[in-house]
């Protein structure tokens, strides 16, 4: 079975990032990077990483349609497999991201995992799922550390793929996120801070596989 | 009187961007750049631009507190005077941006100007102003092409500085935005697509000055 593990390499040490990516790239679903890594040297890092496997750019874009398009085109041209966009900026902004992505996949944020997400965004999850569906998003970002809410989102998501952060150092269990309806599980620190990232990846892949077969 | 004009140099041609910035830098309040410009070569571009005047990084950051902090620290270290952040991700995310900015200024988005902003974000402006105030934002981003809504935001904003896009190619008038309560007016295409950007800047500065004196 293919891996359902997405490893977030939230590192600003480009050498370490590349080393771990080369080490684990063949055994994960994808590598996810965020803005701080791209800020080091621009989008060139996306192209370099794409040699090791799928790259998901977690940019949480939240701008007007034209700017969203420019951002997405830039990383897709460098080889990104997927991009993470917000949906609360409205259907036209998200649709611009989806259209500019062409064959690349756009995941839309409908829930977040940090405490402040309850101030605002997580109170509008259902509307955001609707905006995401109408804009043609490939997938949703849901809460990996909130199984009950994740299961609820799963029911509303239809055939959209669900990817979940909040697993590992943030408290959630990969197996529980999968059982609650997640298709792809994001793990960061528990892999890149491990003394043996590849071993950590293999243990997570096994945990996920067992939870699927149960 | 000092300029109240912020020029958005939304260009991915770094040479042209630098040329216009050098040309107009001394006669504007600040230069604003966005992600597509930073994606060309990383944050180095912020440092180069800061030689010509204040630089505002319009990143519309919308991530968890730790990632927001890393993004803000990165551009402030390079000399950014200000950063634009979203507020809908909650008080802790915005506060992380404010604290990481140290002496640099954080502007919080509470309203947007594209059609899709009415789907969602513009229906929550009042709550977002409250989140922004509580998080210690220096300023707000309001709608330069909607004088009535801008005047309403002005009343709720207290002593927060209001900066407004939507002027020029997007339909709003700089003078009208100022009269409706804007402190700083953002103009992009009407300057960088002009055959003489410096002349365009001077005309806008004059228009704003006259509207303030009236």
Residue A209 has pLDDT above 60, yes or no: yes
Best of B47, B84, B89, B171 to substitute, by most chain A Cβ atoms within 10 angstroms, is B89
| Rg for chain A, CA atoms, rounded | 16
Domain residue ranges in chain A = 5-213
CB contact under 8 A, B89 and A121: yes
User: Count of CB contacts below 8 A, A vs B?
Assistant: 134
Gap between the Cα atoms of B161 and B54, Å rounded: 16
Calculate mean pLDDT across residues A198-208. 96
CB contact under 8 A, A114 and B64: yes
At residue B155, the 3 state secondary structure works out as: helix
Residue pair A46/A55 in contact by the 8 Å Cβ criterion: yes
Best of B114, B134, B170 to substitute, by most chain A Cβ atoms within 10 angstroms, is B114
Q: Running DSSP on this structure, what letter comes out for residue B102?
A: T
Contact list in B for residue A60 (CB cut-off 8 A) is 61-63
Residue A180 has pLDDT above 70, yes or no: yes
CB contact under 8 A, B39 and A71: yes
pLDDT at B102: 97
Residue A13 has pLDDT above 90, yes or no: yes
pLDDT at A214: 63
CB contact under 8 A, B74 and A121: no
Give the contacts of B19 (CB within 8 A, at least 6 positions apart): none
Confidence band of A1 (pLDDT split at 50, 70, 90): low
What percent of chain B has a predicted confidence (pLDDT) above 70?
A: 99
Residue pair B120/A89 in contact by the 8 Å Cβ criterion: yes
Residue B9 has pLDDT above 90, yes or no: yes
Question: Is the CA virtual torsion B79, B84, B88, B90 positive or negative?
Answer: positive
Nearest to A114 among B41, B93, B124 (CB): B93
Nearest to B90 among A94, A120, A128 (CB): A120
Element of type H or E holding A164 = strand A161-167
CB contact under 8 A, A71 and B36: yes
Residue A171 has pLDDT above 80, yes or no: no
Gap between the Cα atoms of A50 and B36, Å rounded: 20
Closest to A165 (Cα-Cα) out of A56, A16, A25: A56
pLDDT of B116-160, one tens digit each? 999 999 999 999 999 999 999 999 999 998 999 999 999 999 999
Instruction: Count CB atoms within 10 A of the CB of residue A123.
Output: 12
**Chain B residue closest in CA terms to A93:** B116
CB contact under 8 A, B86 and A112: no
Distances (CA, A) of A88 to A91, A92, B139, B146, B183: 8, 10, 21, 20, 26
Between B147-156 and B125-134, two packed helices, what is the crossing angle to 10 degrees?
40
Placement of tokens 């370099």 in the chain: A48
B8, β-bridge pairs: B32
pLDDT at A167: 82
Question: One of B60, B77, B148, B173 is an active-site residue; which one?
Answer: B60
B32, β-bridge pairs: B8, B56
Query: End-to-end alpha-carbon separation of chain B, Å?
Result: 14
Contact list in A for residue B10 (CB cut-off 8 A) is 67
Nearest to B90 among A34, A87, A116 (CB): A116
Residue B47 has pLDDT above 80, yes or no: yes
Cβ neighbourhood burial of A152 (10 Å; 0-12, 13-18, 19+):
middle
Placement of tokens 């009236």 in the chain: B214
**Chain A residue closest in CA terms to B69:** A36
CA angle (B17 as vertex; B16, B21 as ends), nearest 5? 115
Residue B169 has pLDDT above 80, yes or no: no
Gap between the Cα atoms of A63 and A66, Å rounded: 8
At the top level of CATH, the class of B5-213 is alpha beta
pLDDT at B200: 97
Nearest to A36 among B64, B70, B89 (CB): B70
Between B91-101 and B125-134, two packed helices, what is the crossing angle to 10 degrees?
40
Residue pair A153/A110 in contact by the 8 Å Cβ criterion: yes
Give the contacts of A152 (CB within 8 A, at least 6 positions apart): none
Calculate mean pLDDT across residues B43-66. 97
pLDDT at B136: 98
Residue pair A170/A145 in contact by the 8 Å Cβ criterion: yes
pLDDT of B23-41, one tens digit each? 999 999 999 999 999 998 8
pLDDT of A128-139, one tens digit each? 999 999 999 999
What percent of chain A has a predicted confidence (pLDDT) above 90?
A: 90
pLDDT at B172: 79
Instruction: Count CB atoms within 10 A of the CB of residue A155.
Output: 8
pLDDT at B41: 81
Residue-averaged pLDDT of chain A: 95
Residue B1 has pLDDT above 60, yes or no: no
> Higher confidence at residue A199 or residue A145?
A199
Q: How far is A208 from chain B (nearest CA, A)?
A: 25
**Helix-strand-coil percent breakdown of chain B, rounded to 5?**
50, 20, 30
CB contact under 8 A, B64 and A112: yes
B5, β-bridge pairs: B185
Best of B36, B61, B84, B99 to substitute, by most chain A Cβ atoms within 10 angstroms, is B36
At residue B193, the 3 state secondary structure works out as: coil
Closest to B27 (Cα-Cα) out of B170, B209, B172, B201: B201
Highest mean pLDDT: which of A1-5, B6-10, B163-167?
Answer: B6-10
pLDDT of B100-109, one tens digit each? 999 999 999 9
Q: How far is B119 from chain A (nearest CA, A)?
A: 5
Q: Which of A59-68, B32-41, B56-65, B161-170 is predicted least confidently?
A: B161-170
Best of B13, B32, B57, B90 to substitute, by most chain A Cβ atoms within 10 angstroms, is B90
Residue pair A83/A104 in contact by the 8 Å Cβ criterion: yes
pLDDT of A46-68, one tens digit each? 999 999 999 999 999 999 999 99
CB contact under 8 A, B120 and A71: no
Nearest to A36 among B35, B71, B120 (CB): B71
CA dihedral B66, B93, A104, A21 (to 10 degrees): 0
Distances (CA, A) of A78 to A34, A46, A163, B39, B201: 15, 6, 22, 11, 36
| Rg for chain B, CA atoms, rounded | 16
Beta strands in chain B (DSSP E): 5-8, 30-34, 55-61, 82-86, 105-109, 139-141, 161-167, 184-187
């Amino acid at each position: 079975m293919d891996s359902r593990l997405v490893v977030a390499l939230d590192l600003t040490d480009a050498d370490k990032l590349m080393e771990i990516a080369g080490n684990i790239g063949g055994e994960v679903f994808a590598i996810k990077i965020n803005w701080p890594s791209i800020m080091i040297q621009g989008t060139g890092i996306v192209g370099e990483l794409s040699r090791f496997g799928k790259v998901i750019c977690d940019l949480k874009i939240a701008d007007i349609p034209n700017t969203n398009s420019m951002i997405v085109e830039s990383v897709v041209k460098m080889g990104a497999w997927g991009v993470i966009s917000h949906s609360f900026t409205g259907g036209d902004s998200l649709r611009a991201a989806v259209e500019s992505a062409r064959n690349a996949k756009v995941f839309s944020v409908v829930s977040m995992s940090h405490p402040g997400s309850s101030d605002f965004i997580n109170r509008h999850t259902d509307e955001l799922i609707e905006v995401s569906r109408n804009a043609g998003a490939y997938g949703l970002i849901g809460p990996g550390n909130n199984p009950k809410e994740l299961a609820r989102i799963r029911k509303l998501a239809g055939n959209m793929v669900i990817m979940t952060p909040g697993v590992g150092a943030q408290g959630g269990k990969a197996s529980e996120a999968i059982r609650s309806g997640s298709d792809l599980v994001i793990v960061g620190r528990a892999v890149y801070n491990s003394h043996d990232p590849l071993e950590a990846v293999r243990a997570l892949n096994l945990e996920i596989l067992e939870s699927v077969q149960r």
